[in-house]
A and B are shown apart, each in its own frame.
Chain A
Amino acid sequence: MALLTLTTVLMATLGLGWLLQWLPARGQPKPTYPQRAPFLGGGSPDTHAWNRYHIRYYPMTLLLIAFEMEMMFMYPWAVVFVEKGAMAVMEMGMFLAILSVGIVYAWREGVFRWQ
């Protein structure tokens, strides 16, 4: 029931946001071609914006995936943490220590410099 309610809140607000955009602008004519040229500070675009683009920070996104997988284990771990005590601390400490070595290595390799 809780998830159903949340879904209805999500969908209803989505509909509201869409209506707020659509209702006031529904009768408007389409803007002219000069008006529809993307703003480039005075220049005119000669390509699509959707070109091949080198995302310089992509190694960082790979590092994130390693940590995101770790988060998946961390949620149930948080619930039993107090009950398990020192054992839970050691287990997650070891896991985090290994992942931290990854951060240090990535830092040394210049992953976070993004140039």
Chain B
Amino acid sequence: MILDQLILPWLLAWLMVGLGAYLVAVLDRLLATGSARDGSVWLAPLASAAWLMTQQATTTEAPDAPAWRLAPALYLALAATGLALVPWSPTLVGVDLATSLVLWGSLEALATVVIFLHGWSANAHLALIGAYRYVALGLSYLLISMFVLIGVALPAESLRLTEVVAAQTSLWHVVSQPLGLPLFLMVGLGLTFWGPLDLADSTDLSGGTAVERSGPPRLVWALARAAMLVAFSAIAATAFLGGWLGPWLPGPAWLLIKSLAVLVALLWLGRRLPRFAPERCVTLMWVVLLPLSFIDLIWAGAVALWMA
């Protein structure tokens, strides 16, 4: 009982955090250079992680030191908690919570707090600008995420992720709710401030919330961001691509393949789309994407009633 209910979720979550973050670094490099001709592509992330571990951790003149330490660790903890919710097969589930969709939503909301805290606690101007920008973005994508996830819960008549997967046995939600996955991918880019939605740690702020970060804390921050991208991919694969469902292969293998597909799509979008202007981002989210998520919800409701 201790083994399946306490140790197993830990193992699943930490394994995915470690392997997933490594994979994010490798895949992003492959997508950026277009080929693996640089032989060190597998070793490069490990080398730069080891290098960061040995570097000095700089500080600012008057930071909020405990909060500054807390922010990267808490972001990592949110990602691990999200990964613990993912169902790998009908029986292999980290934590089979009756309200796992609600909990994932609360992790997304808490991420906004943590990312703001990371920028705020440095007591540096550029970091704080990144933090304020992120709050504008974070409060805008939150509603889109909620509506899209509620749409997924409707046919399942449950907020439990395992039942959301079970409801997709006849048809995956990526087909029955065509607007859902594209909108949710935008949420994923926002949640990890990746690529086009990298407003918090962008280069025009010379690194934004992480501008004053070096050494081990910088490594933990990068690790947490990559782990959150992995957690998001796994949740997206569960909610829209039928999770463990699929022929021939066992359930966990299907979930891995689907999560990897979402992850590659996100990293590819991150490399291909230009960064949005922060002030246009809010308009885009509220005026274009939020009404689209209403349509997605109405569509999901109509389909759920028609199929019931």
Do A and B form a real pair?
yes
Residue of A nearest to B80 (CB): A13
C-alpha spacing A3/B77, complex, angstroms: 15
Min CB distance A27 to B, Å, is 11
CB pair B279–A113 under 8 Å, yes or no, is yes
Q: Per-position contact with B for A1-31: 1 when CB-CB < 8 Å, else 0?
A: 1110110111111111110111111001011
Known: A5-B95, A36-B61, A45-B125. A82 touches B304 (CB 8 A): yes
Number of residues from B at the complex interface, CB < 8 A: 86
Q: What chain B residues lie within 8 Å of A9 (beta carbons)?
A: 9-10, 13, 77, 80-81, 84, 94-95
Whether a CB of chain B sits under 8 angstroms from the CB of A98 is no
Residue of B nearest to A57 (CB): B136
Q: What chain B residues lie within 8 Å of A63 (beta carbons)?
A: 286
* A-B contact sample (12 more), CB < 8 A, given A6-B103, A112-B287: A3-B97, A6-B85, A12-B10, A13-B13, A13-B76, A21-B69, A49-B128, A89-B305, A103-B290, A112-B282, A112-B283, A113-B282
Whether a CB of chain B sits under 8 angstroms from the CB of A78 is yes
Residue of B nearest to A114 (CB): B279
C-alpha spacing A3/B81, complex, angstroms: 11
Q: What chain B residues lie within 8 Å of A103 (beta carbons)?
A: 286-287, 290-291
Q: Per-position contact with A for B6-44: 1 when CB-CB < 8 Å, else 0?
A: 100110011001000000000000000000000000000
17 contacts between A and B (CB under 8 A): A13-B77, A13-B80, A25-B216, A28-B56, A33-B61, A37-B60, A40-B125, A45-B125, A48-B123, A49-B128, A50-B120, A67-B143, A68-B143, A75-B99, A112-B286, A114-B278, A115-B279
Min CB distance B211 to A, Å, is 6
Selected from B5, B72, B95, B283, the residue in CB contact (under 8 A) with A21 is: B72
Residue of A nearest to B84 (CB): A9
- Chain A interface, DSSP helix/strand/loop, else mixed: helix
Whether a CB of chain A sits under 8 angstroms from the CB of B158 is yes
Whether a CB of chain A sits under 8 angstroms from the CB of B124 is yes
Min CB distance B217 to A, Å, is 5
Closest 3 CB pairs of A and B: A17-B73, A38-B124, A13-B80
C-alpha spacing A6/B9, complex, angstroms: 8
Whether a CB of chain A sits under 8 angstroms from the CB of B263 is no
Residue of B nearest to A84 (CB): B305
Known: A48-B123, A49-B127. A6 touches B212 (CB 8 A): no
Whether a CB of chain A sits under 8 angstroms from the CB of B126 is yes
Whether a CB of chain B sits under 8 angstroms from the CB of A105 is no
Whether a CB of chain A sits under 8 angstroms from the CB of B224 is yes
Known: A82-B157, A89-B301. A50 touches B59 (CB 8 A): no
Whether a CB of chain A sits under 8 angstroms from the CB of B146 is yes
Whether a CB of chain B sits under 8 angstroms from the CB of A109 is no
Min CB distance A25 to B, Å, is 4
Selected from A6, A23, A37, A74, the residue in CB contact (under 8 A) with B61 is: A37
CB pair B124–A13 under 8 Å, yes or no, is no
Whether a CB of chain A sits under 8 angstroms from the CB of B269 is no
C-alpha spacing A82/B206, complex, angstroms: 50
Min CB distance B258 to A, Å, is 23
Interface 9-mer from B147-155, B179-187, B242-250 = B147-155
